[in-house]
């Protein structure tokens, strides 16, 4: 995979953010990164460049990293139980195809590790309804629902449990996700204050600011999103070459034929240049210099060619991996075993501090004490 110079610099800067974490905290809570991704919905270029490729970079830096396919989160809104198992395997294959190495990081399926839901209940008991109701994601997703599922309301607590179960010190996020991490920080502080120091206060690693430039192909005033009802608004990693070409050809630009980069005045064509830059590894300046005499119609063909060239090897690897579902299941099982060992230690500590565990002295010990 290609990482342009400015992208490497950005990730390195992010890593430096948590190198400054206090020496005392580092010794008590060794640096550990946690992140998760829902199995439903296809990974689009924004997800891939803003999250997955950054995980690969952190992995290459030999970070202690835990990645979860958070299938329980995919149930907060109605889902199809017949397609979910395949979605989990396909997401696993996609992450591996993008460069995630299960021998270097822990990759597992969330629902295979019981500590997530157990810790979520413990944290839920110190959460407040008012705090959860003010989270922006809940407001956004519940706005058009007549009956709001309880899971949608309390999923941020489960998200906090996902992170705190591993005593993660850092979480890679986009800048629009900070409020959910702030809830995790608040719950960690509350638990520590009430029951004794147990959790580190996780810090954000901002990996998405440069990729916020990736906008919807149909409405460049909005970011590219898998929740957009228009599938033509995004380029997914599993899109066929024909689909990619059609989407880019129909992308909204403007009436100026010249190719110039001006996100404020020309968001549509600037979005195409950003996509081109990210998948090719060339700078915006280099690209604009090369296409001075090319109109936007012909330029779209160049962008489509660059995107297709970048995603086709990933697609081939996904297809190969999906032909061996037994291997994918084995990867998730091995990851779950490692994740369970870590999270159960955390949960045991939490249960002791909450008074949910007690130690019965043996008869021999009782005699000695007497």
- State the catalytic residues: 141, 223, 226
The residues, any chain, with a CB within 8 Å of residue 46's CB and separated by 6 or more, are 211, 214, 223, 224, 225, 234
Q: DSSP assignment, residue 361?
A: P
Beta strands in the chain (DSSP E): 33-37, 65-69, 106-109, 170-173, 203-206
Long-range pairs of 217-224 with CB within 8 A, sequence gap ≥ 24: 217/247, 217/248, 217/250, 217/251, 217/252, 217/271, 218/250, 218/251, 218/252, 219/252, 220/252, 220/267, 220/268, 220/270, 220/271, 221/267, 223/46, 224/44, 224/45, 224/46
Length of the chain: 370
Token representation of residue 307: 């995107």
Measured distance CA(18)–CA(303) in Å, rounded: 36
Closest C-alpha among 358, 340, 355 to residue 125: 355
* Burial (0-12, 13-18, 19+ Cβ within 10 Å), 13: exposed
Measured distance CA(152)–CA(142) in Å, rounded: 8
Measured distance CA(212)–CA(219) in Å, rounded: 14
Strands 106-109 and 170-173: unpaired
């Amino acid at each position: 995979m290609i990482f342009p110079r400015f992208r490497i610099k950005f990730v390195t800067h992010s890593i430096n953010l948590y190198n400054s974490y206090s020496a005392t905290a580092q010794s008590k809570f060794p640096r550990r990164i946690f992140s998760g991704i829902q199995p439903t919905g296809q990974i689009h270029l924004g997800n891939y460049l803003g999250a997955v490729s950054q995980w690969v970079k952190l992995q290459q830096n030999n970070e202690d990293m835990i990645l979860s396919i958070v299938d329980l989160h995919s149930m907060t809104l109605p889902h199809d139980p017949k397609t979910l198992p395949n979605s989990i395997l396909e997401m696993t294959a996609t992450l591996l195809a993008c460069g995630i190495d299960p021998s270097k990081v822990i990759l597992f399926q969330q629902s295979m590790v019981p500590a997530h839901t157990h810790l979520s209940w413990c944290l839920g008991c110190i959460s407040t309804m008012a705090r959860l109701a003010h989270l922006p994601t809940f407001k956004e997703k519940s706005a058009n629902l007549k009956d709001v599922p309880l899971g949608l309301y309390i999923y941020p607590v489960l998200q906090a449990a996902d992170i705190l179960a591993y005593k993660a010190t850092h979480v890679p996020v986009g800048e629009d996700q900070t409020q959910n991490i702030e809830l995790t920080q608040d719950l960690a502080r509350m638990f520590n204050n009430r029951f004794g120091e147990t959790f580190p206060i996780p810090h954000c690693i901002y990996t998405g600011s440069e990729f916020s430039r990736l906008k919807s192909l149909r409405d460049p005033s909005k970011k590219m999103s898998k929740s957009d009802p228009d599938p033509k608004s995004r380029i997914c990693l599993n899109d066929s070459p024909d689909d990619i070409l059609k989407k880019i050809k129909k992308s909204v630009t403007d009436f100026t034929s010249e190719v110039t980069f001006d996100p404020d005045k020309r968001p549509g064509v600037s979005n195409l240049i950003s996509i081109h830059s990210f998948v090719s590894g060339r700078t915006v300046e280099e690209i604009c210099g090369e296409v001075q005499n090319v109109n936007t119609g012909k330029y779209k063909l160049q962008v489509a060619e660059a995107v297709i060239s970048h995603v086709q090897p990933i697609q081939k690897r996904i297809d190969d991996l999906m032909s061996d579902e037994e291997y994918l299941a084995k990867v998730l099982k091995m990851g779950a075993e490692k994740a369970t060992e870590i999270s159960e230690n955390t949960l045991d500590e939490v249960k002791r501090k909450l008074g949910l565990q007690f130690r019965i002295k043996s008869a021999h010990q009782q005699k000695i004490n007497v």
